[in-house]
């Protein structure tokens, strides 16, 4: 079994992120079509969550810490 190169792992992660982005976009579009949420509401909510999370420990930093 060969080890994957750093470039291959980065590409794999990028592809997974693309899939998640497409899934999330489809979900938001569906909610918008059904009149449940508007694009502006989605963007406002997303921005608020990102702003609130600033300064908090990141899960990945904790998960992959060497301690």
The beta-strand segments (E) located in 1-67 are none
Query: Is 12 inside a domain boundary?
Result: no
Query: Is 22 inside a domain boundary?
Result: no
Can you list the residues of the chain whose pLDDT is less than 50?
Answer: 1
d(CA 12, CA 22): 16
Calculate the alpha carbon distances from 29 to 25, 42, 60 in Å: 6, 10, 29
Q: 65: domain range?
A: 32-67
Query: Is 37 inside a domain boundary?
Result: yes
């Amino acid at each position: 079994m060969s080890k994957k190169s750093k470039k291959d792992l980065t590409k794999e992660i990028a592809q997974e992120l693309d899939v998640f982005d497409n899934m999330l976009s489809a979900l938001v579009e569906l909610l918008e079509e059904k009149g449940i949420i508007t694009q502006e509401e989605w963007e406002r909510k997303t921005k608020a969550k990102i702003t609130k999370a600033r300064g908090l420990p990141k899960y990945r930093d904790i998960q992959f810490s060497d301690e």
